[in-house]
Amino acid sequence: MSKKGIEGLKREYEEVRMSESQVNALKKTIERAKQDNRNKNRIRLWRMTGTAVAAALLVFIILPNTSANVAYAMAELPFIGNVVKVVTFRDYSYESEQQIAEIDVPKLDVSETDGEYGIATAEAPATLALKDTTDELNAEIEELTEQIIREFEEFVQKESGVKEVMISHETLVTPEPYFTLRLVHYEAAADGAEYVYYYTIDMSTGERVKLADLFNENADYIGIISAEIIRQMRERMATDEKVSYWLDEEMSDWNFKEITDETQFYINENNNIVISFNEGDVAPMYMGVVTFEIPAEILAEIRK
C-alpha cells in the first residue's frame, strides 16, 4: 500500500459531510435528550423529597374538602361485604392561554355494608386492615399529586411557557380478590411524558399487595421476572427496529438489571402479573410507559 493511496482515500473520506437538514435534525435530537434529562431529574427529585412534602400537606388537605361536594363516582367493588369506593378528593383545574391543569385526585373510601350478606363487617379484621390500607394509599396519592400541583403552580408564577398537566385515575378490571387503582400523570411542556402508578389491595385480607406477597416465601421472583423481562426486551428489539430499551448501553448505570420491590405492577384480568415501567426508567423517553406481561407458566412454581 502506498502512502499516496491512503492520502487519497483520506481526502475522499473527508468529503463526506452531513447535510444541513441532517444537522438540524441532530440539533433537535440533542435538545430532546436534554429535555428528557430534565424530566428524569424532576422525577428523581420527587422521590427524594417525598417525606419532606408530607409534613406540608397536613395543612393542605383540610382546605379543599370541608365542602360537602365530594363526588361519589367511579367503580365500586363489593367483596365480603366491604366496598372500596373511589371518590374525587380534590378537583383542581386551571386554564390560561398557555397553561392547563386538569387534576383529579382520587381518594379510596371504605364503606362496610351488611347488605346482601347480612353480616356486620365493621369490626371484622379485614375491614380494619382495609381502612388502614386505604389511609396509607390515600396519603401516598395525596403526597404525589400535591407535589405535582405545587410544581405546576410554581411554574405558572415564574414562567410563561406552555405547560399541560393532567392526572386521571381508573379502577382496573382485576380478578378477585384484588382491587387496583391506576393513577395516570401526564405532563407536557416541549415534550409529553406519562407516568403511571398502581395501587393494589387484597380485599380478602384488606392488605395492600406488594409484589413479594404474590409468591412463596424465599422464592426468587425478582430473578425470574427480571430474566423474563430481559428476554421480552430482546425479542421486541429484534422484531422492531424502532423499539429500544436500556439494556446493552455504554453507560452501564442505566442498563436494566432487575426489578425491585418498588417496581410498579398490577394483576390483569387474566390473573397475570404485569410489570410497568415509567418513561425513561428502562427505555428512552420516546418509548413511553412500557409494560411486560409475565406468562403464568414461568411463575407457576412460585406463585401463591
Kindly report whether the peptide bond that precedes residue 78 is cis, defined as omega within 30 degrees of 0: no
Among 17, 47, 158, 304, binds another protein (CB under 8 A): 17
Radius of gyration of the chain (CA): 24
| C-beta closer to another protein: residue 45 or 212 | 45
Query: By CB under 8 A, is residue 97 in contact with another protein?
Result: no
Which residues, 6 or more positions from 22, have their beta carbon under 8 angstroms from its beta carbon? Answer: none
Q: Which residues between 73 and 92 bind another protein (CB under 8 A)?
A: none
Taking CB under 8 A as the binding criterion, the range among 29-37, 95-103, 104-112, 115-123 that sits at the site for another protein is 29-37
Query: By CB under 8 A, is residue 6 in contact with another protein?
Result: yes
| C-beta closer to another protein: residue 32 or 85 | 32
| C-beta closer to another protein: residue 29 or 96 | 29
Among 5, 173, 269, 300, binds another protein (CB under 8 A): 5
Q: DSSP label at 210? A: P
What distance in Å separates the CA atoms of residue 48 and residue 59, rounded to the nearest whole number?
21
- C-alpha distances (whole Å) from 277 to each of 46, 54, 111, 284 are 16, 25, 32, 11
Among 27, 231, 234, 257, binds another protein (CB under 8 A): 27
Minimal distance, residue 57 CB to another protein, in Å? 21
Taking CB under 8 A as the binding criterion, the range among 28-36, 71-79, 88-96, 100-108 that sits at the site for another protein is 28-36
| C-beta closer to another protein: residue 2 or 66 | 2
Q: What is the 3-state secondary structure (H, E, C) of 79-145?
A: ECCEEEEEEEEEEEEEECCCEEEEEEEEEEEEEECCCCCCCCCCCCHHHHHHHHHHHHHHHHHHHHH
Query: By CB under 8 A, is residue 303 in contact with another protein?
Result: no
What distance in Å separates the CA atoms of residue 230 and residue 236, rounded to the nearest whole number?
10
User: In a 3-state reduction of DSSP, which class is residue 177?
Assistant: coil
User: In a 3-state reduction of DSSP, which class is residue 277?
Assistant: strand
Q: Which residues between 278 and 297 bind another protein (CB under 8 A)?
A: 284
What distance in Å separates the CA atoms of residue 280 and residue 39, rounded to the nearest whole number?
9
Query: By CB under 8 A, is residue 218 in contact with another protein?
Result: no
Total residues binding another protein (CB under 8 A) = 37
Within 10 A of 89 (CB to CB), how many other CB atoms are there? Answer: 20
Query: By CB under 8 A, is residue 220 in contact with another protein?
Result: no
Binding site for another protein (CB under 8 A): 1-2, 4-6, 8-10, 12-14, 16-19, 22-23, 25-27, 29-30, 32-34, 36-37, 41, 48, 241, 249-254, 284
